[in-house]
């Protein structure tokens, strides 16, 4: 063999050994990479026309490459931005669920209260005329306190309702006994007889149970939607660690540096990268699932007999029924009060007949159970609850599912059907390492992401605590215990535990958790029956008032 042939073969063999595995003439051109790089909006000034030695690379394999140091830096930043967008887009469903449903429920409840107050005012003006208008602040204060409670105010529902009935008794007692003068001390004595005399019948007891249960459930549920919304919004905005950014760059853009811009990551490779980058988010899942379960439990309360819509719709009828009871039994009530509190002093001068309660009229429009409030939400509570329950169920395990959802995206990976022609972090070939389990502690042997399992993300731990606190509030609300929302803006605080069981509302007394006691069931059939009797009650009450007026005129 001629010596010149050997002299040519040796340099060629050295050149072949120095080329990366699988390299060919096409692989040495950076034409495809330049096109893909330009499509990302980057300047072509940074990119070579042909592969260069890769000793300068800090993340990608240090072999022949189409990437300069500037390109690697820019693509690394690009991979970080794309990852953040992917997480935000993937969690879009759960975020919009809580944002939109919170808006609808809050809008519904607020307008429900407004409509209930307006309905009561309209009906009482027609029914009682000036007598109501002269004492309307008693009823206005009731709705003011109900609204304040719903919006997170520090209101004890039981005490507030007791105070309402006590004030109403004082006002009515003076109206049915206008010939007497009552001091503040005397009226205070009168109010003490409320429970003993039951001047309003059984309405206050039933209404207290219905209102407290309904408002506790409604307020806590909306507060839960608020917390879910805030947690979802916060967790969806991730800040990847340096180790995660390196892994993302290696997965998403090192194929560019190897001259393979169209080759996408292997599915299992993507899963390991995402499980490492989203390890802390996966740890949120357990508390999130418990929170969703608690929300579903309280949603059941919104559908049951303590449905706030079925409680507030007929509240005007129920209060009117209580007033009728008081009027029909006014003589007996007055006699027993005089016996217990003493004979009151006569009024300075006998009032004229005009001052007697003769302004009652029977032009009362009966309650129609088919009527529903026209709310801004344009729906009923039943439909709202059915919708939110479906969405809540779909929201379970959302955080541990993030890696799978992201890696299932065909724009991110090569998919499970193309396991041989995908990027495995080094070349276009099958990805061999096993897939890691979920959560921070399981990333100790993650082959793709350097994860410090000894330092849990403080921000994620704060969200876990916020969910834990809210779950506790929801469980209390489910059991009928009032919940303290002294500072509703701080979901991560430790406040908000149940304030204990209220009289007539304890689950043990009414077996609320298992069965609903008929005595406290505010079923619409009871409302219909009450409404049907109101015409007779109003007529009887008016006759009593006329008789009393005539008696006074004859004295």
Q: Which pLDDT score is estimated for 378?
A: 56
CB 49 within 8 A of CB 65: no
Question: Tokens representing 277?
Answer: 């980058």
Tokens 């027609």 belong to which residue? 126
50 three-state secondary structure = strand
**Cβ-count burial 51-69 (b if 16+ within 10 Å, e if not):** beebeebebbbebbbbbbe
Distance of alpha carbon 316 from alpha carbon 351, whole angstroms: 30
DSSP state of 428: B
Q: Which pLDDT score is estimated for 483?
A: 62
Distance of alpha carbon 216 from alpha carbon 202, whole angstroms: 22
Sign of CA dihedral 524, 150, 510, 468: positive
Distance of alpha carbon 336 from alpha carbon 334, whole angstroms: 5
Task: Encode 497-528 in three state secondary structure.
Answer: CECCCCCCCCHHHHCCCCCCCHHHCCCHHHHH
Distance of alpha carbon 488 from alpha carbon 495, whole angstroms: 9
Question: Tokens representing 370?
Answer: 């088919």
Tokens 């039994």 belong to which residue? 329
Pseudo-torsion of CA 437, 443, 449, 453, nearest 10°?
150
Q: Give the CA distances from residue 190 to residues 162, 164, 516, 544, in Å, rounded to whole numbers and listed in that order.
A: 13, 14, 34, 21
Q: Beta-carbon neighbour count of residue 268 at 10 Å?
A: 20
Global pTM reads 0.75
CB 448 within 8 A of CB 423: no
346 three-state secondary structure = strand
Distance of alpha carbon 460 from alpha carbon 548, whole angstroms: 70
Distance of alpha carbon 517 from alpha carbon 205, whole angstroms: 14
DSSP 10-25: HHHHHHHHHSPTT--T
Q: Which pLDDT score is estimated for 100?
A: 94
Q: Give the CA distances from residue 323 to residues 109, 203, 320, 532, in Å, rounded to whole numbers and listed in that order.
A: 26, 10, 5, 16
Q: Which pLDDT score is estimated for 484?
A: 61
DSSP 387-412: HHHHHHHHTTTTTTTHHHHHHT-TTT
What is the pLDDT tens value at each position of the chain, 555 positions in all? 444 444 433 343 343 334 444 444 444 789 999 999 989 888 888 789 998 998 999 999 888 999 999 999 999 999 999 999 999 999 999 999 999 999 999 999 999 999 999 999 999 999 888 888 999 999 999 999 999 999 988 999 999 999 999 999 989 888 888 888 888 889 888 888 777 888 999 999 999 999 999 999 999 999 999 999 999 999 999 889 999 999 999 999 999 999 999 999 999 999 999 999 999 999 999 999 999 999 999 999 998 778 899 999 899 999 999 999 988 888 988 988 898 888 888 877 654 444 444 433 333 334 444 444 445 445 789 899 999 999 999 999 999 999 999 999 888 888 777 788 899 999 999 999 999 999 999 999 999 999 998 989 999 999 999 999 999 999 999 998 876 644 343 333 333 333 333 333 333 222 222 223 333 333 333 333 333 333 333 333 343 333 333 333 333
């Amino acid at each position: 063999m001629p010596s010149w042939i050997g002299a040519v073969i040796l340099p060629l063999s050295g050149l072949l050994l120095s080329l990366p595995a699988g390299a060919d003439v096409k692989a040495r051109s950076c034409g495809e990479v330049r096109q893909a790089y330009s499509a990302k909006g980057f300047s072509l000034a940074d990119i070579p026309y042909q592969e260069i030695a890769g000793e300068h690379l800090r993340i990608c394999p240090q072999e022949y490459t189409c990437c300069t140091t500037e390109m690697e830096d820019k693509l690394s930043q690009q991979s970080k931005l794309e990852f953040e967008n992917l997480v935000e887009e993937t969690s879009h469903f759960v975020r919009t669920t809580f944002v939109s449903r919170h808006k609808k429920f809050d809008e519904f409840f607020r307008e429900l209260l407004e409509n209930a107050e307006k309905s009561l005012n309209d009906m009482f003006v027609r029914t009682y005329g000036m007598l109501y208008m002269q004492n309307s602040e008693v009823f206005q204060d009731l709705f003011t306190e109900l609204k304040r409670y719903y919006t997170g105010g520090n209101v004890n529902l039981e005490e507030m309702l007791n105070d309402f009935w006590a004030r109403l008794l004082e006002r009515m007692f003076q109206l049915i006994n206008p010939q007497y003068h009552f001091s503040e001390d005397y009226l205070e004595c009168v109010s003490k007889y409320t429970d003993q005399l039951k001047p309003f019948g059984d309405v206050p007891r039933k209404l207290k149970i219905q209102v407290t249960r309904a408002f506790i459930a409604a307020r806590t549920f909306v507060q839960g939607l608020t917390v879910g919304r805030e947690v979802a919004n916060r967790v969806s905005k991730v800040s990847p660690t340096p180790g995660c950014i390196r892994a993302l760059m290696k997965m998403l853009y090192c194929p560019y540096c190897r001259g393979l811009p169209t080759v996408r990551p292997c599915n299992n490779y993507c899963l390991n990268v995402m499980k490492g980058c989203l390890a802390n988010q996966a740890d949120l899942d357990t508390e999130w699932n418990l929170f969703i379960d608690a929300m579903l439990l309280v949603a059941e309360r919104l559908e049951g007999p303590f449905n706030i819509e079925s409680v507030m719709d007929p509240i005007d009828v129920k209060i009117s029924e209580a007033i009728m009871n008081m009027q029909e039994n006014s003589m007996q009530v007055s006699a027993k009060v005089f016996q217990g509190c003493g004979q009151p002093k006569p009024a300075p001068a006998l009032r004229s007949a005009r001052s007697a309660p003769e302004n009652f009229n029977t032009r009362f429009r009966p309650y129609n159970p088919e009527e529903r409030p026209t709310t801004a939400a344009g729906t009923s509570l039943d439909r709202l609850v059915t919708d939110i329950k479906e969405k809540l169920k779909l929201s379970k395990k959302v955080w541990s599912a993030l890696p799978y959802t992201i890696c299932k995206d065909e724009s991110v990976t090569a998919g499970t059907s193309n396991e041989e022609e995908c990027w495995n972090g080094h070349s276009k070939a099958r990805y061999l390492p096993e897939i890691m389990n979920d959560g921070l502690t399981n990333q100790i042997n993650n082959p793709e992401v350097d994860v410090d399992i000894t330092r849990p993300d403080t921000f994620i731990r704060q969200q876990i605590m916020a969910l834990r606190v809210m779950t506790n509030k929801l469980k209390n609300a489910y059991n009928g215990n009032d919940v303290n929302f002294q500072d509703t803006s701080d979901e991560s605080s430790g406040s908000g535990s149940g304030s204990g069981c209220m009289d007539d509302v304890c689950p043990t007394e009414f077996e609320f958790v298992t069965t609903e006691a008929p005595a406290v069931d505010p079923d619409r059939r009871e409302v219909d029956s009450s409404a049907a009797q109101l015409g007779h009650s109003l007529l009887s009450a008016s006759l009593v008032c006329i008789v009393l007026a005539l008696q006074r005129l004859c004295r």
